[in-house]
């Protein structure tokens, strides 16, 4: 089976990855599974949340993304990330300046998130042509005081924070800056690139969890909001219905996606958070987020799995929301435009 760019398909995870997980231990509460952002392990009377993510693009922001993306995954459990470790791989010919830049970005992210950098590795690696940073974040909480993606309940509301395609917008504005400047003015492109500063969902997730009523949270990365919704549904064995007109999208994302002819629903969306919460607490969660300066919208609801995975379009047509095969960031980055 040929595997496309980005995350490997579910079929490969189930056939290969999930069949090679070492021994079974009683202290592993939540291990590798479809749609799960972090592992949950029992340590004494507490539980430890652990997540690992690679950053393979966005060279100018790679350190910043490395710590924030993995910290996001721990926060989706309702747990404050506390520790970070990284593996920095650099191509032959790299200079000290790039190491300093990556480390400075990780340091800034750690300070903003109140995290400590506890270990890591840095090397010049043969066979690669750009930096790669793999980051792991860890957080600790009392037993029972967390949520997992598989905990989503039927009949709950689905909340989306900030909007679609945040990370993808920032990456395209950075990596395709010269091309975009032929179409948009510098102020527009700079604002789009500044979306990197919105990547963290730690405040979003902890605010929602502390408000109460949350049954699951998920950080939609590759595959965008569409992919994130499917991962939620896969993890919890549920269906969903979302409303297109309720899905938040910035002007920058909308225009950049139109230029590259890609779907913002399928564009990598770190910086967005999907929250599944009870009907009784959903409005309160949205209001609490708003008071903290985080835009949010109730975009749909979870349903019985037999009702499918649907989107109600702006014209009120109910359609199947197709699971993305590959993130549309790769579609944009591999296109050649002569405009």
pLDDT score at 337? 62
Q: Which domain holds residue 128?
A: 10-142
339 inside domain: no
- Residues 213, 313, single domain; the answer is yes
CA 299 to chain centre: 18
Q: Is 222 in contact with 327 (CB distance < 8 Å)?
A: yes
- Same domain (yes/no): 217, 125: no
pLDDT 10s digits, 165-188: 999 999 999 989 999 999 999 999
Residues 119 and 175 in one domain: no
Out of 142, 176, 199, pick the residue that ends a domain: 142
Residue 185 neighbours by CB under 8 Å, 6+ apart: none
Q: Are 275 and 217 in contact (CB under 8 A)?
A: yes
Question: Residue 1 domain-assigned?
Answer: no
Q: What is the CATH number of the domain that holds 286?
A: 3.90.650.10
- The Cα–Cα gap between 139 and 78 comes to 10
Conformational region of residue 33, where left means phi above 0, alpha means psi within -120 to 50, and beta covers everything else: beta
Cα–Cα distance, 151 to 141 (Å, whole number):
17
State which residues of the chain have pLDDT below 50.
none
CB atoms < 10 A from the CB of 245, how many? 12
Q: Are 202 and 113 in contact (CB under 8 A)?
A: yes
Considering the domain architecture, whether residues 98 and 157 belong to the same structural domain is answered as no
Residue 94 lies in a domain: yes
Cβ 217 vs Cβ 211: under 8 Å: no
Write the pLDDT tens digit of every residue in 211-247. Answer: 999 999 999 988 999 999 999 999 999 999 999 999 9
SS (H, E, C) the chain: CCCCCCCCCHHHHHHCHHHCCCCCCCCEEECCCCCCCCEEEEECCEEEEEEEEEECCCHHHHHHHHHHHHHHHHHCCCCCEEEEEEEEEECCCCCHHHHHHHHHHHHHHHHHHCCEEEEEEEEECCCCCCCEEEEEEEEEEECCCCCCHHHCCCCCEEEEECCCCHHHHHHHHHHCHHHHCCCCCHHHHHHHHHHHHHCCCHHHHHHHHHHCCEEEEECCCCCHHHHHHHHHHHHHCCEEEEEHHHCCCCHHHHHHHHHHCCCHHHCCCECEEEEEECHHHHHHHHHHHHHCCCCEEEEEEEECHHHCEEEECCCCCEEECCCCCCCHHHHHHCCCCCC
Whether residues 63 and 188 fall in one domain: no
With respect to residue 2, please indicate whether it lies within any of the assigned structural domains.
no
The CATH number for 61's domain is: 3.30.1330.10
234 occurs within a structural domain = yes
Tokens for 262? 């890609």
- Reported pTM: 0.92
Please count the structural domains in the chain: 2
Q: Where among 84, 115, 142 does a domain terminate? A: 142
Cβ(299)–Cβ(220) under 8 Å? no
Give a yes or no: residue 293 inside a domain: yes
Based on the domain organization, do 293 and 261 belong to the same domain?
yes
Q: Does 183 lie in the same domain as 137?
A: no
Best CA proximity match to 207, nearest among 120, 254, 265, 277: 277
pLDDT value for 126: 94
- How high is the pLDDT of residue 4? 67
To 10 degrees, what angle do helices 202-211 and 279-291 make? 140
Same domain, 299 and 157: yes
Last residue of one domain, picked from the residues 114, 142, 170? 142
Which residues make Cβ contacts (< 8 Å) with residue 331, sequence separation at least 6?
260, 262
pLDDT at 1: 63
């Amino acid at each position: 089976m040929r595997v496309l760019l980005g995350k490997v398909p579910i079929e490969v995870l189930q056939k290969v990855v999930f069949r090679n997980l070492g021994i079974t231990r009683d202290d592993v509460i939540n291990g590798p599974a479809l749609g799960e952002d972090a592992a949950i392990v029992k340590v004494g009377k507490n539980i430890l949340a652990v997540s690992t993510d690679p950053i393979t693009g966005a060279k100018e922001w790679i350190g910043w993304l490395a710590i924030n993306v993995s910290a996001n995954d721990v926060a989706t459990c309702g747990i404050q990330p506390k520790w970070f470790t990284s593996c920095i791989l650099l191509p032959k010919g790299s200079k000290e300046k790039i190491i300093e830049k990556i480390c400075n970005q990780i340091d800034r992210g750690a300070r903003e998130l109140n995290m400590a950098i506890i270990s890591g590795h840095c090397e010049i690696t043969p066979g690669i042509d750009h930096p790669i940073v793999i980051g792991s974040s860890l957080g600790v909480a009392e037993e029972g005081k967390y949520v997992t993606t598989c905990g989503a309940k039927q009949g709950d509301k689905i909340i989306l924070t900030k909007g679609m395609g945040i990370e993808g917008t920032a990456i395209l504005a950075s990596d395709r800056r010269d091309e975009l400047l032929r179409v948009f003015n510098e102020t527009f492109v700079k604002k789009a690139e500044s979306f990197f500063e919105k990547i963290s969902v730690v405040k979003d997730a902890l605010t929602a969890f502390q408000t109460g009523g949350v049954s699951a949270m998920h950080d939609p990365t590759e595959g965008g909001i569409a992919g994130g919704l499917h991962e939620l549904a896969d993890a919890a064995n549920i269906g969903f219905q979302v409303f297109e007109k309720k899905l938040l999208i910035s002007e920058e994302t909308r225009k950049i996606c139109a230029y590259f002819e890609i779907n913002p629903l399928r564009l990598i969306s770190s910086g967005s958070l999907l929250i599944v919460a009870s009907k009784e607490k959903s409005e309160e969660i949205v209001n609490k987020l708003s008071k903290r300066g985080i835009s949010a919208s109730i975009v749909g609801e979870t349903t019985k799995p037999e009702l499918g995975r649907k989107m109600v379009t702006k014209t009120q047509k109910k359609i199947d929301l197709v699971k993305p095969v590959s993130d549309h960031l790769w579609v944009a980055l591999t296109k050649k435009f002569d405009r």
